[in-house]
């Protein structure tokens, strides 16, 4: 199979035709840069915190954020990488090694924060309490910790934007998870630019890979030669997301364009969801840590207390 634009051998078949290496790389970068422009994700004076793990998504988005800034000659803008070490043995240290190497090679400052320093325990140390005593999934606790530490640390470092590596598959999964669980309030927080209200406690979160399927992100990282070792979180299969992911991949294999369809349909109704929730949510500050919350105590502090009992 050859590329639809030239006679070179194709590396991927897309809905509009097959592409060779060079045409795929251009196509992918164009889509990311168009997404950044369309949703006004980055500006010339931004201090950009890229949330990173060392996986294909975060390395790709880190590389392309830097490239976008250089391309647009944003001389006042700067980028740094931020990673959270949840404390998952035989997993996180491998991805952080790849990340550290990448940041050194690409001259990006990197900060790593450890969950244990804030929550007193690693995810491994608290696993038994989470699953047996509290009947929760480790992914739920990990998600709350990560969001909290990313937002708090980015704010402390003066970031004006947080860039995340969420791709089209991640978003389609999150949309379906919220629909299946009737979480309309959480659904309103999704989208290419996250958050419902502008608030001094929140740094705007943006997702440049929003319209890029996961398979294309992996291919881009591979063709660019980013070192990404496959490392599997020992808890990932316990999460609800894993089942949704399998279901959507089975649909996608049979009915091409399923994930795009989910995300594009969601984008059409997202303004209504955000507008409806503007009225509902009052943002307070947590009485324990001072971070933003819609309750008296934020989820992270509530969870920290719960896991200590």
Partner 1 sequence: MNIIIVDERTNKTKTVAFNGKTVKDVLQTLKINQETVLVVRNNEVLTSNENLNDKDKIELLSVISGG
Minimal distance, residue 255 CB to partner 1, in Å: 11
Minimal distance, residue 80 CB to partner 1, in Å: 21
- 195 and 186 Cβ atoms separated by less than 8 Å: no
User: Smaller CB distance to partner 1: residue 32 or 69?
Assistant: 32
Binding to partner 1 (CB under 8 A): which residues in 55-84?
Answer: 55-57
Which of 150, 197, 146, 193 minimizes the C-alpha distance to 42? 193
Is residue 93 a contact point for partner 1 (CB under 8 A)? Answer: no
Q: What ranges make up the beta strands (E) of 47-109?
A: 47-52, 78-85
User: Smaller CB distance to partner 1: residue 257 or 290?
Assistant: 257
Size of interface with partner 1, in residues (CB under 8 A): 30
User: Smaller CB distance to partner 1: residue 53 or 151?
Assistant: 53
Minimal distance, residue 142 CB to partner 1, in Å: 9
Rounded to whole angstroms, what are the CA distances from 75 to 45, 69, 112? 8, 8, 26
Phi, psi of 179 (to 5 degrees): -65, -45
Site string for partner 1, 211-230 (x = CB under 8 A): ---xx--xx--xx------x
Instruction: Select from 36, 64, 141, 231 the one that contacts partner 1 (CB under 8 A).
Output: 231
Minimal distance, residue 231 CB to partner 1, in Å: 5
Instruction: Select from 60, 178, 245, 293 the one that contacts partner 1 (CB under 8 A).
Output: 245
CA separation for the pair 220, 212 (Å, rounded): 10
Please name the residues in contact with 156: beta carbons below 8 A apart, sequence gap of 6 or more. Answer: none
Is residue 27 a contact point for partner 1 (CB under 8 A)? Answer: no
Residue 238 structure tokens: 């316990």
User: Smaller CB distance to partner 1: residue 18 or 174?
Assistant: 18
Is residue 252 a contact point for partner 1 (CB under 8 A)? Answer: yes
Phi, psi of 129 (to 5 degrees): -65, -45
User: Smaller CB distance to partner 1: residue 56 or 274?
Assistant: 56
Instruction: Select from 37, 227, 250, 294 the one that contacts partner 1 (CB under 8 A).
Output: 250
User: Smaller CB distance to partner 1: residue 21 or 281?
Assistant: 21
CA separation for the pair 63, 164 (Å, rounded): 12
Binding to partner 1 (CB under 8 A): which residues in 264-293?
Answer: none
Angle between helices 258-280 and 240-254 (to 10 degrees): 140
User: Smaller CB distance to partner 1: residue 87 or 188?
Assistant: 87
Is residue 232 a contact point for partner 1 (CB under 8 A)? Answer: yes
Per-residue burial over 74-102, b if 16 or more Cβ lie within 10 Å, else e, is beebbbbbbbbbbbbeebbeebbebbeeb
CA separation for the pair 104, 219 (Å, rounded): 23
- Window contacting partner 1 (CB under 8 A); options: 13-21, 36-44, 61-69, 261-269: 13-21
Is residue 87 a contact point for partner 1 (CB under 8 A)? Answer: no
Binding to partner 1 (CB under 8 A): which residues in 30-59?
Answer: 53, 55-57
Alpha helix segments (H runs only) across 72-135: 92-106, 115-119, 123-128
Beta-carbon-side half-sphere exposure of residue 89 (alpha carbons within 13 Å) = 5
Coil vs helix vs strand at 160: coil
Question: Interface with partner 1 by CB under 8 A: which residues?
Answer: 1, 9-13, 18, 21, 53, 55-57, 91, 95, 214-215, 218-219, 222-223, 230-233, 236, 245, 249-250, 252-253
């Amino acid at each position: 199979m050859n590329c639809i634009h030239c006679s070179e051998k194709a590396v991927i078949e897309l809905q509009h035709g097959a592409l060779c290496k060079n045409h795929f790389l251009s196509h992918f970068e164009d889509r990311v840069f168009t997404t950044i422009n369309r949703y006004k994700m980055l500006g010339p004076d931004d201090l950009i915190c890229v949330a990173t793990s060392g996986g294909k998504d975060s390395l790709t988005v880190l590389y392309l954020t830097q490239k976008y800034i250089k391309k647009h000659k944003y001389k006042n803008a700067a980028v740094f990488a931020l990673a959270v070490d949840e404390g998952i043995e035989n997993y996180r240290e491998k991805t952080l090694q790849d990340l550290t190497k990448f940041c050194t090679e690409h001259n990006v400052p990197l900060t790593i924060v450890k969950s244990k320093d804030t929550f007193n325990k690693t995810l491994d140390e608290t696993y038994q309490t989470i699953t047996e005593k509290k009947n929760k999934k480790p992914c739920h606790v990990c998600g709350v910790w990560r969001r909290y530490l990313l937002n708090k640390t980015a704010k402390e470092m003066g970031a004006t934007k947080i860039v995340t590596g969420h791709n089209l598959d991640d978003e389609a999964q999150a949309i379906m998870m919220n629909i299946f669980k009737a979480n309309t309030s959480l659904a309103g927080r999704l989208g290419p630019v996250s958050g419902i209200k502008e608030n001094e406690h929140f740094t705007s979160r943006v997702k440049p890979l929003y319209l890029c399927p996961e398979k294309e992100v992996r291919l881009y990282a591979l063709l660019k030669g980013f070192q990404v070792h496959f490392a599997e979180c020992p808890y990932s299969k316990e999460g609800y997301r894993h089942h949704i992911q399998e279901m959507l991949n089975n649909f996608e294999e049979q009915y091409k364009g399923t994930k795009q369809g989910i995300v594009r349909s969601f984008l059409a109704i997202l303004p209504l969801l955000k507008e409806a929730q503007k009225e509902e949510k009052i943002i307070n500050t947590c009485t324990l840590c001072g971070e933003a919350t819609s309750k008296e105590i934020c989820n992270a502090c509530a969870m920290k207390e719960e896991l200590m009992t």
